[in-house]
């Protein structure tokens, strides 16, 4: 997640302010530096797996001391989610960030569809939680746009997806 947010920032896409911590004390210091702009913080395990929140790897907290406590619990844990399998994944660091009140949450991802041999932008107004369940139960809420590897996602394609997302 923190790597994706670094790329977003590089291209001018707004993200919550935050940084990676490898200890509870470092998490505390990051939150302290963000405390003028935030009344809440997110402490998020940084592993390549979905379902981190359900596995105990994401905590939303309201104080600096709670940031320290959440980081202490998460760093060093073996996070088990449906995507990690029963063996889980070790958590070496957390992303500590200022939270932002949300008006609406959306889901967006780019995957490589091997059957089509093309990348595909997938978006949904159903947010990011349980997106696999949304796809299974309400597939009409999942919008897809294939695009060329050579040309990338064209602005007109992105605009069309945004219009469909807001309209639906």
Model confidence over 67-111: pLDDT tens digits?
Answer: 999 999 999 999 998 889 899 999 999 999 999 877 888 888 899
SS3 content of the chain, % helix, strand, coil (to 5): 30, 25, 40
Dist CA 44 CA 2 (whole Å) = 10
Dist CA 168 CA 162 (whole Å) = 10
Beta-ladder partners of 107: 124
Bigger pLDDT: 130 or 158?
Answer: 158
Give the mean pLDDT of 32-55.
91
The answer to whether 21 and 34 have CB atoms below 8 angstroms apart is: no
Dist CA 153 CA 102 (whole Å) = 27
Helix H or strand E segment including 119 = strand 118-124
CB atoms within 10 A of CB 158: 15
168: pLDDT confidence band, cut at 50, 70 and 90? low
Dist CA 17 CA 97 (whole Å) = 6
128: pLDDT confidence band, cut at 50, 70 and 90? low
Residue 129 confidence (pLDDT): 65
pTM for this prediction: 0.78
pLDDT tens digit sequence for 2-23: 999 999 999 999 899 999 999 9
Percent of the chain with pLDDT over 70: 98
Beta-ladder partners of 111: 120
Dist CA 37 CA 160 (whole Å) = 34
């Amino acid at each position: 997640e923190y790597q994706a947010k670094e790329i977003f920032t590089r291209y001018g896409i707004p993200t919550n302010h935050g940084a990676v911590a490898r200890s509870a004390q470092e998490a505390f210091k990051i939150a302290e530096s963000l405390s003028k702009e935030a009344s809440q913080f997110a402490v998020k395990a940084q592993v390549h797996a979905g379902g981190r929140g359900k596995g105990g790897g994401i905590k939303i907290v309201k104080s600096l001391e709670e940031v320290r406590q959440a980081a202490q619990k998460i760093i060093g844990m073996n996070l088990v989610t449906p995507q990690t399998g029963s063996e889980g994944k070790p958590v070496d660091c957390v992303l500590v960030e200022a939270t932002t009140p949300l008006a609406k949450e959306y889901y967006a991802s780019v995957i490589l569809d091997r059957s089509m041999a093309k990348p595909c932008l997938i978006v949904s107004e159903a947010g990011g939680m349980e997106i696999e369940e949304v796809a299974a139960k309400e597939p009409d809420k999942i919008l897809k746009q294939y695009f060329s590897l050579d040309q990338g996602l064209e602005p007109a394609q992105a605009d069309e997806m945004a219009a469909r997302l807001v309209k639906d």
